Chain A
Amino acid sequence: MENLRELYQEVILDHNKNPRNFRAMDDADGFAHGNNPLCGDTIDVYLKLKDGVVEDVSFAGHGCAICTSSASMMTTALKGRTEAEAEALFNSFHHALTEDADYPDDVPLGKLEVLKGVKDYPVRVKCATLAWHTFDAALKKHQGEVTTE
């Protein structure tokens, strides 16, 4: 079990136990619901934007430790980034776990590095990327609303 420390690092376990920005948002500009029907993980992502910058982001729902801590770390990493920067971080994170060339690997991951160990557990990659896909959907929905106005 000790070799699982690579996967379940202290930081991850801490975010799992005390998730940051774990709350619904009444006045969100963007919202999306994500779920992983195979595992029953569900995540709601709420988003507030100001002048193209992520002013606030939060999440609710339930999932495994990888899912919850990834969502929690995501919210702390996204605050203050522009939409383009947020998108680039999503791509790089996705690339780090899947090596999928469709997701360019342009920006450093910073604190999100600790989640890279998930790559060695292919069935758990979806757990780590769920929150990000949900964030991406929330952002795209928001952008969609903007252009139709």
Chain B
Amino acid sequence: MSNVAQYDVVSIRNDFPILERSIHGKPLVYLDNGASVQRPVQVIRAIEQLYQENYANVHRGVHTLSQESTRLFDDARVKVRGFIHAACVHEVIFTSGTTESINLVAQSYARPRLQKGDEILITHMEHHSNIVPWQIVCEQTGAQLKVVPISDKGELEMDRFAELLSEKTKLVSVVHISNALGTVNPVKQIIDAAHAIGVPVLVDGAQAAPHIPVDVQKLDADFYAFSGHKVYGPTGVGVLYGKEALLKEMPPYQGGGDMILSVSFEGTTYNQLPYKFEAGTPNIAGVIGLGAAVDYVQKIGLGAIAAHEHGLLEYATAKLRQINGLRIIGEADQKAGLISFVLDAVHPHDIGTMLDAEGVAIRAGHHCAQPIMERYGVPATARASFAMYNTFQEIDVLAEAIQKTIKMFA
């Protein structure tokens, strides 16, 4: 509780210049954080400063700017290691985002190992990014995709998981926090069960890394993926954490510069980790901005952020439950700070447009999780998702805007 008491949301908000904006003459209430959060001035400045003072390509030049950029770039990897508690720095691979991280594992880890009759196990609450890469690799290899069902509340059916996990399973890939339902999955339990029969696990942490403390070693995750733009960092950059032993065995994902030690037309010697998986000039500013972002998040503290967002969730859930004709989709016992909902009389798109007129930004749609929409028999939902800078008063604005919407469509 002391965390909550000390939490200074006003000073946090002051770090986010965009929150000053007004939308249609109303103060912005930004509740589309599940899609992408906003950036603090510390991140914006880090990128600006790089381009104004230190920028050059990395790992190439002997000149001063290249050395400065390289140092900032390498520092960011050290920061990310600390952020997710990886055992070593070279277990942190920079990618373009969660999507690329998952594709990398699908093509470089899974594809060479899969044979006809093998299985990949995912769940019904995955983002398309954690479905389609496995469908592709299954098509390439003749392996089969198995799906753990979810309950009406939006929780994984763990007894079905136990049944589906077998010696045929070659990899389990599961979302840590569902972007459409908010469910926090028991990933530790899943990993332990999979490891008991020697099956590695990838965790899609896109929605977890910004909201709860993540310790990949405590989880014993084999792979962990997340995106920069959801952890208050830049777009176009993300992370794949992988255990060293697994990464070492994997062939490169793409060919190009930086991922090789020497090239001749007879053959190529691949570089060591992590560079083996980082072909071409990386997203230098993105990586450095991500370093600044994880610094910022750690300064506020993920424990404190999680507690604040949990408070918002409880408050918002109670408020929205009072609204007649509103149904919350996803009522798991363990939930992160987001609420998917539908209204009896108003389509999610109309809700989105109506709320925008009140300055409230939410997401309306299928959230790149069409199987979930199908599971609950809705074409789409409206989703309000919270971040460290949201306030209780903003939830009041949200609830009021929903009431007005219902009235207008009545």
Contacts and interface: CB of A to CB of B under 8 A. Distances in A.
Contact of A40 (B357, B380, B401, B409): B380
B310 interface: no
Contact of B347 (A3, A4, A38, A65): A65
A13 B406 CA distance: 12
Contacts of B409: 8, 13, 16-17, 65
A65 B346 CA distance: 7
Interface residues of B, number: 23
A109 interface: no
A90 B24 CA distance: 32
A65 B406 CA distance: 13
B349 A3 contact: no
Contacts of B404: 1
Contacts of A39: 349, 364-365, 379-380
Interface residues of A, number: 23
A34 interface: no
Determine which residue in A7, A39, A66, A121 has the highest number of CB atoms from chain B within 10 A of its CB, and name it. A39
Given A39-B380, A42-B379, A65-B409, A3 B365 contact: no
Contacts of A13: 408-409
Interface string B37-75: 000000000000000000000000000000000000000
B33 to A, nearest CB: 20
A71 B165 CA distance: 47
B146 to A, nearest CB: 25
A17 B345 CA distance: 8
A95 interface: no
Nearest to A127: B349
Interface string A1-15: 101100110000100
Contacts of A62: 347, 379
B358 interface: yes
A114 interface: no
Interface in B335-381: 345-350, 353-354, 357-358, 364-366, 370, 373, 379-380
Contacts of B354: 1, 4, 8
B373 A40 contact: yes
A62 to B, nearest CB: 6
A40 B379 CA distance: 5
A24 B378 CA distance: 20
A51 B346 CA distance: 40
Contacts of A127: 349
Contact of A1 (B345, B364, B370, B408): B408
B107 to A, nearest CB: 26
A124 B353 contact: yes
A19 B128 CA distance: 34
A83 interface: no
Contacts of B348: 64
Nearest to A7: B353
B383 to A, nearest CB: 13
Given A39-B365, A66-B349, 15 more contacts: A1-B354, A13-B408, A38-B365, A39-B349, A40-B379, A41-B349, A62-B347, A62-B379, A63-B347, A64-B349, A64-B350, A67-B347, A68-B347, A121-B353, A127-B349
Interface of B: 24, 345-350, 353-354, 357-358, 364-366, 370, 373, 379-380, 401, 404-405, 408-409
Closest 5 A/B residue pairs (Cβ)? A40-B379, A64-B347, A64-B349, A40-B380, A65-B350
